[in-house]
Structure 1
Amino acid sequence: MAKWQVQEAKTRLSALIEEANKKGPQVITRHGSEHAVVLSITDYRALTDQRANLKDYLLGGPKVDDFEVKRSRDRGRKIRL
C-alpha cells in the first residue's frame, strides 16, 4: 500500500483517487502515523457486501427444533447427615 502525507493527499486528491482505483488501497498518514485509508468503490463494496446482518447470521445456523435431551432417572445416592 502506498502512503500519502495529509498535505500531499489534499493537494493531489485526484491522483490519490486514481491510484486507489488502479493500485489498491492508499494510506494517509499524519505525523508519521497511519490515520486513514482511501479505497476504490469496488474494494469498498467487496468489504461491506460480505458482512452479514447479525440477525440473519444467528437465524441461519442449524435448526434445533427436534432437539431432545435424555435425562437420567438416577436420583443419586442416599447419605446420612
Structure 2
Amino acid sequence: MKTWTVAEAKAKFSEVIDRAAAGTPQVISRNGRTTAVVVSAEEWERKTRRVGNLAEFFAASPLRDSGLIVERAADSAREIDL
C-alpha cells in the first residue's frame, strides 16, 4: 500500500486511480495523518454489500433459542398534540 500526500495524489491522480483499480488500496495523508483511502470500485462494493436482511439477522441470532425474555416497560403512551 502506497501512502501519498495530498499534493502528490493531486499531481498523480491517474496513477492513484490505476493502482487502486489494480487492487492495491492507496492511502492519502494530510499533515502526516491518514486522511483517505482510495480503493477499487469492486472492493468498495464488496465491503459495503449488505448481507441478508434484518429478519435473517434476528433469525440467525445466538440469542434466538436462549430463553431470553424481553419485557416492555409498563409506561403509558405519551400524548401527542394534533
TM range (shorter): 0.5 to 0.7
Q: Any stretches of 5+ residues in structure 2 without a counterpart?
A: 68-82
Q: Report 1:23-34 matches (<5 A).
A: 23-34=23-34
Cα separation, partners in 2 of 1:10 and 1:55, compared to 1, 3 Å: farther
Shift, 1:52, TM fit: 4.9
Q: Any stretches of 5+ residues in structure 1 without a counterpart?
A: 68-81
Q: Report % sequence identity.
A: 35
Rg larger in structure: 1
Question: CA-to-partner distance for each residue in 1:16-64, whole Å, 9 max, x for gaps?
Answer: 0001112411100011110100010011011011555545422554766
Cα separation, partners in 2 of 1:18 and 1:55, compared to 1, 3 Å: same
Which of the two has greater helix per residue?
A: 1
Aligned residue pairs total 65
TM-score with structure 2 setting the length: 0.63
Separation in 2 of the partners of 1:53 and 1:36?
Answer: 29
TM-score with structure 1 setting the length: 0.64
Q: Provide the aligned C-alpha RMSD in A.
A: 2.4
